[in-house]
Amino acid sequence: TPTILRSDYRPLAWRVESVELDFRLDAEQTLVTSRLACVRVPGASGPLPLDGEDLELVSLRIDGAEAGECMRRTERGLEVTPGSDTATIEIVTRVNPAANTTLSGLYASKGGLFTQCEAEGFRRITYFPDRPDVMARYTVRLEAEQASFPVLLSNGNLVDSGELPGDRHYAVWEDPFPKPSYLFALVAADLEAMERSVETLSGREVLLQVWVEPGNLDRAGHAMDSLVNALRWDEETFGLELDLDRFMIVVVADFNMGAMENKGLNIFNARFVLARPDTATDADFEGIESVVAHEYFHNWTGNRVTCRDWFQLTLKEGLTVFRDQQFSADMLARAAGAEREASARAVKRIDDFRGLRAAQFTEDSGPMAHPIRPDSYQEINNFYTATVYEKGAAVIRMQHTLLGAEGFRKGMNLYFERHDGQAVTCDDFVAAMADANDRDMTQFMRWYSQAGTPVVRASGQWDADARRYTLTLAQHTPPTPGQPEKLPLVIPVAVGLIGPDGNDLPLRLEGDSAAGATTRVLELVEAEQHFVFEDVDAEPVPSLLRGFSAPVLLEIDESDARLAFRMAHDADPCNRWDAAQRYAERVILALAAKADADVPEAFLDAWGALLADESLDPAFVALAATLPGEGWLLERMRPADPAPLRAALMRVMRAIGERFADQWLGLYQRLEVRGPYRYHPADAGCRALRNLALRYLAAAGNEDGLNRAETQFEYAENMTEQFGGLAALVHSASPVAEDALDNFHTRFSSDALVLDKWFALQAGAWRWDEAAPPVLERVKALMDDPAFKLTNPNKVYSLLGAFFRGNPAEFHAADGSGHAFWAEQIIALDAMNPQVASRMARSLENWRRYTPALQTSIRTQLERVRDADGLSPDVAEVVGKALV
Ligand code: HT7
Ligand code: ZN
């Protein structure tokens, strides 16, 4: 597979001014006529390359005449050489949506027709210069049979529609904004809309629609509310207004990712729209709010200003993730009320950072490590990664921290002033931030070019006589593929110093005239720097990287006692959580290395103090009292050995469940949420902590706990509690777990999204009962369930994804059965949907961390996949890089 280099970027010699598309839609034979008004860029020479994939070319005419010699076929599609500097190119292609299992381009789902064009799907619909720097105005005419496709949608405004003979109808859509082809969309399906009309900041009336399958309108309300909130937030926070008369969200059941920000016509995986209290959990409600907002925010950060080339993907994704994180934090804070606001924000921040650490830090230390702006790729679909999205957002967040909210806003204003309507680069974004704030950001740009998670090593020295505390911070970034050497970065380190009484000290840095705030942001720019704090009367405990001020790994020598102290006293909730996680990690890894060791008493005491502190927000306690994820722990274990790690985790869970059974039962009772379900952070926090209590109690085999789990499962009126009860039963040796699973399946047999949870729960189950059969057997059996389809990405992610990624001890069974199963599934999936196959394939990329025996088994299967016939470039890149 050829490698594409960032340095190879060349502007196109042609502009496409307008695109007229005419679709004769049919599930098996759709005829697409495209009319492109092309103009040669003054002074440029060369042909116009047209990308095309899996297309039947019916005709191609240039200015009305057969193309003849002026057209030739290339590896990527076609190349045309018009005889003059302006040309109208008319291309007719035929495609078969029903046969398109890749879910890229035009495809069929549940009788409807949908498109997905990012990143390179438009070329599967018609021949086109399918690159994001080609921005054109689109007019789209859709024609289809009325009975099968009663709703016809595309980008922009509906300018005409009507009936045609033979029970057919048509609609014409015009998008007033020039856009790249990846933002094109159409939908032809049987759908119903929830509608709301709102007034924008400047007083324009706009129509918002959420289109769902008939019968699902009662699940669209939360998405609609989220959309209205997002629209208001962007007006208030950045002065950005909706620029269209109509904004549509459409739900589809088969979708490779979460959602897509097509201009004015967002297409969503059903999972990120549909929610009713009895079918969706608090986490689902939260996910919907953030994804709806994310896609809406793309209208400015992505659509109005887009990427020059796909290497700049983080320009829109990192920035938009940062925006959706800020939005969700503001929504949670508003709902929580003034008193609980800070805690609500911290909970969101911890959740985001936990995600970054689990997915991105892991990616950064493996064979696919890349900078947030990669230098090369084989398949762009493999680069919609945690690095581009989550680390990209963290890099934007650091700019926000360094420039302040006001400075950041000034930078955003300048960015839009300069670049509205353009396709630009990450340098353009940072230049706007730098220029608006008169700040040199040259060194900061290294965050865009260096891969790997930087390590910050901290040590402190207190000089009692001088009443001075010197904090030494040193940074280095480990080598990553293709990048052996790294330079120092600009790292904002938010610091507090905790006094022996547990209270923060006011901070006076050397050179300051007076003490100021209790948290200061230090800028670490050298390989090593010393920061001196004055007037420090007793040896303080440093609290570093408060609020997770940078996406780095912090190394600091801390005794168990000091971790317990920070768990109890750190004024920064993020660091309090971090202290609990570090302590738990230390204990679990020690137990995994020494099977007969006891769970240390001091650790249990620290845990007990956390549970006993009634002043803490339940949502925070639920996060702090959750053990570090297994994937993260494997990342920290050398060599990674899933079986003893699982055994250690079980022992710690049992110990915490047993030792604190009374506290857990007390919490469970005290935090019961009465009244009808509402998606609200206070209620969600109580439910999360009660569900966690059930998990610990069930792990310990506590009878009271198991009874409560069963009752909660049976009688709960909302999915968060019902599923929480079921999960506790399944994650225990309870004899009623199987009946509960059957019962749940019967209750929700026709609800695809709820069944996704049912699949995932079983695939991710631990074997608390040693006599139970391996989980792999169950996963195989579940593949035969009538609800499971390998062609539906949600099903693949819930069953296979939960097993490959979420159940390491079972997946990495010593006999290699899990690995052989992985290879079979990757090969089968790849033949249908390379994007999904490749995402699943990535579950083995960090195989070199495992024990020698596991490595041998995994290598065999990686090679088996690498050598399979007809492998896609997507999977070839992943296994190829893994095997280097
Ligand atoms: N910008 C969207 C990315 C996306 C996508 C990419 C590749 C293949 C399928 C896809 N579906 C959606 C989603 C987003 O980040 O908003
Ligand atoms: Zn996005």
* Helix/strand/coil for 266: strand
pLDDT tens per residue, range 397-441: 999 999 999 999 999 999 999 999 999 999 999 999 999 999 999
Helix axes 719-730, 681-699, angle to 10 degrees: 20
Catalytic residues: 295
Rounded Cα–Cα distance for residues 639 and 846 (Å): 11
Give me the mean pLDDT over the 684-696 stretch: 98
Q: Which atom of ligand 1 is nearest to the CA of 295?
A: 16
The pLDDT of residue 6: 98
> Which pairing describes strands 306-307 and 423-424: parallel, antiparallel, or unpaired?
parallel
Whether 755-884 and 15-282 are alike in CATH topology: the answer is no
> Which one, of 129, 127, 120, lies nearest residue 47 by Cα?
129
Verify whether ligand 1 is closer than 6 Å to residue 107 (CB atom).
no
Kindly report the protein residue whose alpha carbon is nearest to atom 6 of ligand 1: 118
Verify whether ligand 1 is closer than 6 Å to residue 254 (CB atom).
no
CATH 2.60.40.1840 fits 456-550, yes or no: yes
Does pLDDT of 582 surpass 90? Answer: yes
CATH of domain 755-884: 1.25.50.10
pLDDT tens per residue, range 22-75: 999 999 999 999 999 999 999 999 999 999 999 999 999 999 999 999 999 999
> Which one, of 843, 762, 842, lies nearest residue 795 by Cα?
762
Compute the C-alpha angle 244/246/251, nearest 5°.
Answer: 125
Verify whether ligand 1 is closer than 6 Å to residue 119 (CB atom).
yes
Verify whether ligand 1 is closer than 6 Å to residue 260 (CB atom).
yes
List the chain domain ranges. 15-282, 306-449, 456-550, 755-884
Does pLDDT of 595 surpass 90? Answer: no
Pocket perturbation via mutation, ligand 1, pick of 257, 265, 268, 838 by most ligand atoms within 8 A of CB? 257
Give me the mean pLDDT over the 849-870 stretch: 98
Does pLDDT of 516 surpass 90? Answer: no
Rounded Cα–Cα distance for residues 476 and 487 (Å): 8
Main-chain dihedrals φ then ψ at residue 256, nearest 5 degrees = -70, -35
Q: How far apart are the first and last CA of the chain?
A: 15
Does pLDDT of 548 surpass 90? Answer: yes
CATH 3.10.450.50 fits 306-449, yes or no: no
pLDDT tens per residue, range 198-244: 999 999 999 999 999 999 999 999 999 999 999 999 999 999 999 99
Verify whether ligand 1 is closer than 6 Å to residue 317 (CB atom).
yes
Pocket perturbation via mutation, ligand 1, pick of 261, 384, 794 by most ligand atoms within 8 A of CB? 384
Q: How confident is the model at residue 515 (pLDDT cuts 50, 70, 90)?
A: confident
Q: How far, in Å, is the centroid of ligand 1 from the Cα of 106?
A: 15
- ipTM of the prediction: 0.98
Give me the mean pLDDT over the 442-460 stretch: 98
The pLDDT of residue 1: 84
CATH 2.40.50.140 fits 15-282, yes or no: no
